[in-house]
Structure 1
Amino acid sequence: MNDVTKPLHIYFRLKMTGNQRFIYCRISVAGTVATDFSTHVPYHPSWQQKSQLFNEQALEVHNQHLCDIKEDIRILYRELRRTMDGVTAQDIRNRYLKQRENRTLVQCLDHHLKWFKAQVGAPGFAKGTLKVHTTLDRVVRGFLNHKKRKDISLAQVRLAFGKEFVLYCRSTKQYAQNYLVRCLNYLKSIIDTAVEDGFVNANPLAHLSESKLEPAEITFITEKEIELLRKTDLLTAGQRRIADAFLLQCFTGLCYCDLKRFSPKKHIREICGVRCIQYAREKSSTLFTIPVLPYVDELIETYGENLPIISNQKMNAKLKEIAKIVGIDKHLTTHVGRKTAGTYLLNHGVRIEVVSRILGHKSIKTTETTYAALLQQTIIDSTAHLRAA
């Protein structure tokens, strides 16, 4: 029997659970209707019954979940029709819920990466962040391989599993503490999503936590070292280009991925009579505005659209060579250039909330945390005249 004579319909509707409304799923086949079941997606005023979707970007994760439910049910229906006659709506419902109960960790990992890849390009979903998620995904899969397991059902993920994962990251892989925290939080977020999707009732790792280390003192180069880089004649033509790209970071605060995207033609505009660099950070889609300082104008005049940007890894290797040649006893990286910009601005009296906007931080707390030690010195210096009185 084919789909024409026995059509499948999947429909979402609102129902009350206790004192809260949720989206429920109804399956019908050839007029027979199965018992509704909860998708575990809570109601929101942006829900559109006609389109069967939420009309709000922030709830796209719920829309994707509902679409996945429909697709999974359609696939299941086709599979059942190949193996049994007279498939009813209740058969599909029961088999689907049984599959949902048997959801595995690898299935959740696969689903997360598939979903994230589909979002790349939308605000807050950068290619660089996808790369980070892909790397963290490999850590979790590596742990399963370490346990000689291809997969594990969500029902088998217990607190002991999480503790073993932490030990694996710390002892076997010897990750730094802050990266260990990142790996653990990623695993917990995967289980949290499974809870939201109704595959498990609670996250057994919810109370398993590791603390990050206090932020290390930031590395930046001084104005004297900046001048040394600007005026040295000890560099080759290739090294000069890399040094200039780094100096552009020191005077703008652009991180590597945004430096790579920078185009004077596209991203420089006049704001309130001042030439400014303005576009959104790739990482967070946060808009930043950077007034063009005189030396930045010189670099743009020199290179135009041909800013010499190579891979981050190669650029950092070249910066290490350059530091040694000119006598800067610091481990130079592209990130040091960004930190130098923040330090330079704060040392020249630019208010921290302005520095935060220039650097494109989502929250001023990020700026305060990063430059905490420097701000303490600023506080002491700014109140010197009061103590003298």
Structure 2
Amino acid sequence: MGLTSDKVLALALLCAVLLFVGTVWFWPRLAHRNWRAVSGRIGLLLATQVLIFASVGLGANQAFGFYASWADLFGQESGQGVVVDHDAGGGSGGPLQVVDTQQVNVTGGARPRVGGQIQKVDIVGRRTRIATPALVYLPPEYFQPRYRTRTFPAVTVLTGYPGTAEALIKGLHYPQTAHRLAKNAAAQPMILVMMRPTVAPPRDTECVDVPRGPQTETFFAEDLPDAVSAHYRVGKKPGSWGIVGDSTGGYCALKLAIHHPETYAAGAGLSPYYRAPIDPTTGDLFQGDKELQNSADLMWYLKHRPAPDTSLLVSTSRQGESNYKETLRFIDLVKEKKPTRISSIILDSGGHNFNTWRREIPATLQWMSGRLSDR
């Protein structure tokens, strides 16, 4: 049973409850002062605490999507998938392969023409040779005969770090929200390409082209749009792509829109930060390249490089988010950098968590829809 399985969580909860009841039942028999009784009491208390904390941890992981598997949890992720030896054509099957499908959790979701469809895909970058999975949401219109020649705008949707693409569906409800907005004519139908920014797990590359390492920025700026556009009916004009993410994904979304306005006409960062950190999860991202490090600082980039022709959205909370003051400084800076456009969502209160982002996602997708072309 997998780490995110409901059965694992239910088993942990059941064992915790049974052990708690057993502790209450056997406690009088362990009331003596000999070493066996003391050891028994210590063992029961310790086992009960471990199971309780394990149940809480499993529940939190399901809610927030921190780790996708046991190997991911224990740092033994084997699916590195960074360098793949293919011919110049990217292999016989092309850069994107559909490996599974699932229905959208909406009314009538079993029928793609009504609920749309989520496709699990494997993508291999032609330039970077980065190989990574993704989940692609196709709106109902994509399957309806009257729209058979229509193209759709596409939005790259990124998790935080470490994150799982499944959390964008189960925890943040991106497909369900996009479906509801389009059904109510509050947003146009859009294709969502949902994935985590960690394309070289377990390393956090912060969407940087790491010298002699994963070329993550190039993957998201070039390989991913090319692979998706070659397989699906995505608009061909520069304004057809947007990108959104939370936390680390929010930083990546802003950076990619700023660095690559020719690809991303709009970038939305939910609770983002504005410069790439260096810590044990990232390693040395810049290898002494000062220009690369400066470019990964969005404030520095906007001050020292020509302003990009793109639209940006940032979110924060007056109470509960640590990025509040820095976000205000970022907004003030971008307001002076035409033709870059800046919008914001500022809540009175809200922490760095899924509940806050769920409150921001409907307005974010509406904002995104208004800035993308379907041609």
Give the TM-score, by structure 2 length.
0.24
Q: Which has the higher strand share?
A: 2
Q: Which has the higher contact order (CA 8 A, sep 6+)?
A: 2
| Greater percentage in helix | 1
TM-score, length-scaled by structure 1: 0.23
Q: Which structure: larger Rg?
A: 1
